[in-house]
Amino acid sequence: MRYEVNNSTEQFSLRAKSLKKSFAFGDSKLEVLRSVSLSLKKAESLSIQGDSGCGKSTLLNLLARLEQGDDGEIFWGNKKMEAARKQDAKQIAQRGTYIGVIYQAYYLIPELTVFQNVILPARLNGSLNPQKQERVINLLKKMGVEQKANQIPPKLSGGERQRVAIARALINSPKVILADEPTGNLDEKTGGEVMDLLLQTCEEEKASLLLVTHNPKFAEATNRAAVLRDGELNQIA
């Protein structure tokens, strides 16, 4: 069943309509996303599975406005954006508070402490204050790594690094979390623990979660599941 965007009056945190994206290779063109639509309610979780190279990461980049599409529309709440248009300064500023992104490779700054890594998005967004510093500590406690606050990432385990990355994504209280294979670098046991923590924390924070994963077990743990195949998103549960 093809995944159709919901255009009802119900409030959604994230929507996309007819997203298209292709890449040029010499004289040929590869269509990665042909016509992708989706909708994500507030505090809802949706998983996306698909073969390697099918466009899952590209889709997340489009939704975060980190990459331009060829056509289609993206909605952050009620704010409508044309996917093919370059983002403006307002969108860049809004992304800092509306979207949180978690990557497979963590992307923590090795020279900064755990505390400094987590608070960095607040600093970049101009919202650094005592309340944000307290929130860092609370998030690290929730992630179970508060004792690592003054440690640097190279001295952490993979599971600890991803817990820190989750805390960093949540620091500005975003409405939407985009997680791109967040357990891809972890063993099964550690990955399961991190995934449980991610789902639980997003629920507590009332943040919507869009999860890209190859793990069927993790996909089943979200409210809804879909698969990206041949450039289109198909709902499976």
Specify which residues 103 forms β-bridges with.
180
pLDDT surpasses 90 at 122: yes
Whole-number Å distance between alpha carbons of 139 and 215? 26
pLDDT of residue 10: 61
Q: Which two tokens stand for residue 214?
A: 């190859």
pLDDT cut 70: percent of the chain above it: 95
Confidence label for 151 from pLDDT (cuts 50, 70 and 90): very high
pLDDT surpasses 60 at 4: no
pLDDT of residue 235: 81
> Is residue 34 a contact partner of residue 20, using CB atoms and an 8 Å limit?
yes
pTM: 0.93
List pLDDT tens digits, range 87-115.
888 888 899 999 999 999 999 999 999 99
43-69+88-235 — its CATH code? 3.40.50.300
Q: Which two tokens stand for residue 108?
A: 């923590």
Whole-number Å distance between alpha carbons of 212 and 179? 6
pLDDT surpasses 60 at 220: yes
Work out the mean pLDDT of the chain and round it to a whole number: 93
Confidence label for 9 from pLDDT (cuts 50, 70 and 90): very low
The DSSP code for 78 is T
> Is residue 15 a contact partner of residue 79, using CB atoms and an 8 Å limit?
no
pLDDT surpasses 70 at 5: no
Whole-number Å distance between alpha carbons of 12 and 63? 14
> Which residues contact residue 129 at a Cβ distance below 8 angstroms, ignoring those fewer than 6 apart?
none
Confidence label for 33 from pLDDT (cuts 50, 70 and 90): very high
> Is residue 224 a contact partner of residue 45, using CB atoms and an 8 Å limit?
yes
pLDDT of residue 215: 93
pLDDT of residue 6: 53
Q: In angstroms, what CA-CA distances link 132 with 128, 214, 223?
A: 6, 34, 30
For range 184-202, the mean pLDDT:
95
